[in-house]
Amino acid sequence: MKELWHNITSNQGLELAAAGILLVFAVLILVSLCISVLPKLLAWVGPMLDRKTQEDEEDTLDFELAAAAAAMHEHLNRTGK
Partner 1 sequence: MEMLLQFYETTGFASMNGQSVLMIVIGLVFLFLAIRMKYEPLLLVPIGLGMILGNIPYPADGPALGSDDPGSVFHYIYQGVKLGIYPPLIFLGIGAMTDFSSMIANPKLILLGAAAQIGIFVTLIGALFLGFEVHQAASIAIIGGADGPTAIFLSSMMAPELMGPVAIAAYSYMSLVPIIQPPIMKLLTTKKERKIHMPPSREVSRRELIIFPIACVLITVLIVPATMPLLGMLFLGNLLKESMVTERLANTARNAMIDIVTILLGFAVGISTHGESFLTPSSLKIFVLGVSAFMLATACGVLFAKFFNLFLKEKINPLLGAAGVSAVPQSARVVQKVGQEADPQNFLLMHAMAPNVAGVIGSAIAAGVLLAVLGGAPVIEPDLDPPPPVVAEQMLETTTAQP
Instruction: Check the CA dihedral 30-35-36-37 and report its sign.
Output: positive
- Strand locations in the chain (E): none
Between residues 46 and 65, which has the closer beta carbon with respect to partner 1?
Answer: 46
* 31 near partner 1, rule: CB under 8 A: yes
* Mutual angle of helices 2-10 and 13-79, in 10-degree steps: 50
* 52 near partner 1, rule: CB under 8 A: no
Among 44, 47, 49, 58, binds partner 1 (CB under 8 A): 49
Q: Residues in the site for partner 1, rule: CB under 8 A?
A: 4-5, 7-8, 11, 13-14, 16-21, 23-36, 38-39, 42, 46, 49
